[in-house]
Every structure is written in C-alpha cells, then in structure tokens.
Amino acid sequence: MHQPIGYGRFAQAADAIRFAIEEIPPELLLAAQLKVAEERFNGDGIRRLYESVEYLLARRAAKPVNLWHNGWGQDG
C-alpha cells in the first residue's frame, strides 16, 4: 500500500504535471489535484494536460508492454 504523497510546490505547472504522471503510482493519481492560479485539475485533467500538444517538457518514453506476460504469442 502506498503512502499519500501530500502537498508539493513546483516552479512551473509543467513540473507538477510531469511529477504526477511520471512519478506517482497511477492509483494515487485518481485522488491528485493540481491548482494553477485559481484553476483546479483532477487526475483526469492532469493527464489531459500531460498529453496535450502544448505540454512544454519532454515526456518519458512509454514503458514497453510485455505481450508474453499477457498470454499473447503462446501456442495452444
């Protein structure tokens, strides 16, 4: 079980978005909130900001999917 992350301050909203998406466990993102000026974003909103073409920072490469682990590619 993961401990709550708590409150954090970042120099730029993009840094907070990157941290939320790339560093915290996905199940904790469900309860995450980001406040920029007077606007608030929930976990889905944070993900949309990260996936936006306007996101300023480089994204971490997606983790490869292990198809063998999922049972694909096995005979019989």
Q: Per the domain annotation, does 68 fall within a domain?
A: no
Q: Per the domain annotation, does 72 fall within a domain?
A: no
Domain count of the fold of the chain: 1
Q: Check pLDDT > 60 for residue 22.
A: yes
Q: Check pLDDT > 50 for residue 76.
A: no
Q: Per the domain annotation, does 74 fall within a domain?
A: no
Q: Per the domain annotation, does 66 fall within a domain?
A: no
Q: Check pLDDT > 70 for residue 59.
A: yes
Domain that holds residue 10: 1-58
Q: State the average pLDDT over residues 8-29.
A: 92
Q: Per the domain annotation, does 6 fall within a domain?
A: yes
Higher local confidence (pLDDT), 45 or 66: 45
Range list of H helices, the chain? 13-22, 26-29, 43-51
Q: Per the domain annotation, does 18 fall within a domain?
A: yes
Q: Per the domain annotation, does 42 fall within a domain?
A: yes
CA distance 52 to 17: 11
CB-based burial, 6-30: b 16+ in 10 Å, e otherwise: eeeeeeebeebbbbbbeebeeeebe
Backbone φ and ψ of 39, nearest 5°? -100, 140
CA distance 33 to 17: 10
